[in-house]
């Protein structure tokens, strides 16, 4: 059985790069009817924060990524210690008494001399074990020169000379394991078949393979090219009402649909022919880890934005309204009204937030656009509204009413010698409070004749 895991460290916010790794890992497991495990890599107790862990879980939940199992590395400290002891006993690891300060000095020195800043192996063959001195435990890389080679599912063949691998730390002097140890032990214990992670881990892999070999289980590796940031542009922030767009929970807040986000994430470094729109089910069906690109991809916010508008058009009205309730308060009866105008709204918005903002004036008009008031709420506007009030009151319900409505606008336009657009805008502003709205006819239908007349009257009063 395929078992994958997503192993974030709760040391920062949950962003699109990390989320993409989670997605691919999830997709690969589900595609193979396997298991997907969430592992919280919280062995760095200084930097790990519970709120980040919560954000990861909330983010995964939003993305529709469900894990079959979850655990924290901080709950398995004893196990890592046990493995470390065993490694020392069997000569695969040794105690290192070098102080962090000493090592840091050595590192700086080496860097200054433009030499390799690698551990010099000071304690490698040390025979004394001072009882009072703290020690870390290091892996003992075999002396003979050999090549560590592995077939990466994404990067293909990668090979590293053993001379390039230093005696890396397994256990810190505070008794906590390092990433390399904990990760390998867990991958072995949980029988992980595919380690899918960011390309920033490529250089850790040869080290880990050495450990895997000793522990007797070597998973397959798939290193995903990193996602580069989108060079943001000012224009967008105006429309989307948020610039901070790389964090999953912010996207949620800004009204992005999970379908759109997973869709875009999946297309970063992966493609299936010319297909652009993928549902989660399609992704599970079509995704192939070995077809992932090896080139870093740039996060494309505008494309995500477009995808969001596409998904708004695809999703059934009922689901949309349900999601909309996170952004707008409305009753069940109002929901029916919203449903009525949804087709007209859908094609005009790119996010749930925009959708909520477009529907709000339909529920009640609080203010009128200032520019519009100056331009349309004048003498002529008043006469037109008064006529409109009478004529719209008689608007029928039949199939022809749309034409009737259009005729009313045309006639008024002629009578008052103004452009038809003037008549329309006067009415729009009166009914909706803004100069941009869904089509007027739809607005009137949703408001109902009574409310339409009431809103017109209210405006006539104020002119």
Asked if residue 232 lies in contact with residue 207, where contact means CB atoms within 8 angstroms, the answer is no
420 binds RNA (CB under 7 A): yes
Contact status, residue 170 vs residue 137, Cβ threshold 8 Å: yes
Radius of gyration of the chain (CA): 31
Rounded Cα distance, 463 and 459, in Å: 6
**Strand order across the 169-171 sheet:** 93-96, 136-139, 169-171
Report how far apart, in Å, the C-alpha atoms of 30 and of each of 2, 152, 259, 273, 286 are.
Answer: 9, 20, 17, 21, 11
Residue nearer to RNA on the CB measure, 84 or 437:
437
Choose one: 26-34, 124-132, 161-169, 445-453; the region binding RNA (CB under 7 A): 161-169
In the complex, what is the shortest distance from the CB of residue 166 to RNA, in angstroms, rounded to a whole number? Answer: 6
Selected range binding RNA among 27-35, 151-159, 241-249, 328-336, rule: CB under 7 A:
151-159
Q: Which of 18/280 has CB closer to RNA?
A: 18
348 interacts with RNA by CB under 7 A: yes
Stretch that binds RNA, among 287-295, 322-330, 383-391, 451-459 (CB under 7 A): 287-295
Q: Which residues contact 34 (CB under 8 A, 6 or more apart)?
A: 1, 2, 3, 4, 28, 193
Q: How far is the CB of 135 from RNA (least distance, A)?
A: 7
Choose between 127 and 157: whose C-beta lies nearer to RNA. 157
The residue within the footprint of RNA, chosen from 406, 418, 449, 460 (CB under 7 A), is 406
Report the nearest approach of RNA to the CB of residue 331 (Å). 26
What number of CA atoms fall less than 13 Å from residue 216's CA on the CB side? 3
Question: Which span (24-32, 85-93, 264-272, 322-330) binds RNA, by CB under 7 A?
Answer: 264-272
Q: Is 247 helix (H, G, I), strand (E, B) or coil?
A: strand
Query: Binding of RNA at residue 428 (CB under 7 A)?
Result: yes
Residue 170 φ/ψ, nearest 5 degrees: -105, -45
Question: Could you tell me which residues come within 8 angstroms of residue 282 by beta carbon, excluding any fewer than 6 positions away?
Answer: none
Q: Using the rule CB under 7 A, which residue among 21, 25, 263, 309 binds RNA?
A: 309
Alpha-carbon distance 5 to 2, whole Å? 10
CB 346 within 8 A of CB 313: yes
Q: Is 199 in the site for RNA (CB under 7 A)?
A: yes
Please tell me whether residue 243 adopts helix, strand or coil conformation.
Answer: coil
Report 205-224 residues binding RNA (CB under 7 A): none
* Sequence-separated (6 or more) residues with CB below 8 Å from residue 108: none
Q: Which of residues 131 and 273 has its CB atom nearest to RNA in the complex?
A: 273
Tell me the closest approach of the beta carbon of residue 223 to RNA, in angstroms.
8
Q: Supply the DSSP symbol for 365.
A: -
Candidates 82, 120, 159, 319; binder of RNA (CB under 7 A) is: 159
Any contact of residue 270 with RNA (CB under 7 A)?
yes
Output 130 or 331, the one with its CB closest to RNA: 130
Q: Is 393 in the site for RNA (CB under 7 A)?
A: no
On whether the CB atoms of residues 260 and 311 are closer than 8 A, the answer is: yes
Q: 33 or 374: whose CB is closer to RNA?
A: 374
Site for RNA in 90-149 (CB under 7 A): 96-100, 103, 107, 114-119, 134-136
# residues contacting RNA (CB under 7 A): 93
Tokens 């074990």 found at: 129
**Rule CB under 7 A: is residue 172 a binding residue for RNA?**
yes
Work out whether 237 is an interface residue with RNA (CB under 7 A): no
């Amino acid at each position: 059985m395929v078992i994958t895991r997503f192993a974030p460290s709760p040391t920062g916010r949950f962003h699109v790069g990390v989320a993409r790794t989670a997605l691919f890992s999830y997709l690969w497991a589900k595609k193979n009817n396997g298991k997907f495990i969430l592992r919280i890599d919280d062995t760095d107790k200084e930097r790990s924060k519970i709120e980040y862990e919560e954000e990861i879980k909330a983010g995964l939940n939003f993305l529709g990524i469900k894990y079959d199992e979850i655990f924290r590395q901080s709950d398995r400290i004893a196990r890592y210690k046990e493995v470390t002891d065993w490694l020392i006993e069997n000569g695969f690891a040794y105690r290192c008494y070098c102080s962090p300060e000493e090592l840091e000095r050595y590192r700086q020195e080496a860097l200054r001399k433009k030499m390799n800043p690698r551990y010099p192996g000071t304690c490698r063959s040390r025979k004394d074990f001072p009882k009072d001195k703290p020690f870390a435990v290091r892996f003992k890389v075999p002396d003979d020169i050999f090549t560590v080679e592995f077939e990466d599912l994404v990067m293909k063949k990668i090979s590293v000379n053993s001379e390039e691998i230093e005696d890396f730390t397994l256990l810190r002097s505070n008794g906590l394991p390092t990433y390399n140890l904990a990760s390998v032990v867990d991958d072995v214990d949980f029988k992980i078949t595919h380690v899918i992670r960011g390309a920033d881990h490529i250089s850790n892999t040869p080290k880990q393979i050495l450990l895997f070999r000793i522990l007797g289980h070597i998973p397959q590796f798939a290193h995903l090219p990193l996602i580069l940031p989108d060079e943001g542009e000012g224009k967008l922030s105006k429309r989307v009402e948020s610039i901070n767009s790389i964090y999953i929970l912010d996207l949620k807040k800004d009204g992005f649909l999970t379908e759109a986000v997973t869709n875009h994430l999946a297309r970063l470094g992966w493609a299936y022919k010319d297909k652009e729109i993928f549902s989660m089910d399609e992704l599970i069906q079509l995704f192939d880890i070995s077809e992932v690109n090896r080139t870093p991809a740039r996060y494309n916010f505008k494309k995500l934005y477009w995808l969001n508008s596409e998904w708004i058009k695809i999703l059934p009205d009922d689901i949309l309204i349900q999601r909309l309730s996170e952004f707008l308060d409305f009753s069940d009866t109002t929901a029916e009204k919203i449903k009525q105008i949804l087709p007209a709204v859908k094609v005009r918005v790119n996010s749930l937030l925009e959708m909520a903002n477009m529907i709000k004036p339909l529920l009640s008009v609080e203010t009128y656009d200032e520019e519009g008031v100056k331009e349309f709420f004048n003498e002529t506007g008043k006469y037109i509204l008064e006529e409109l009030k009478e004529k719209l009151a008689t608007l029928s319900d039949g199939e022809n009413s749309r034409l009737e409505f259009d005729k009313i606008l045309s006639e008024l336009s002629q009578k008052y010698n103004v452009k038809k657009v003037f008549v329309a805008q006067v009415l729009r502003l009166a009914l909706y409070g803004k100069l941009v709205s869904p089509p007027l006819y739809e607005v009137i239908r949703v408001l109902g004749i009574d409310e339409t007349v009431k809103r017109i009257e209210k405006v006539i009063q104020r002119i």
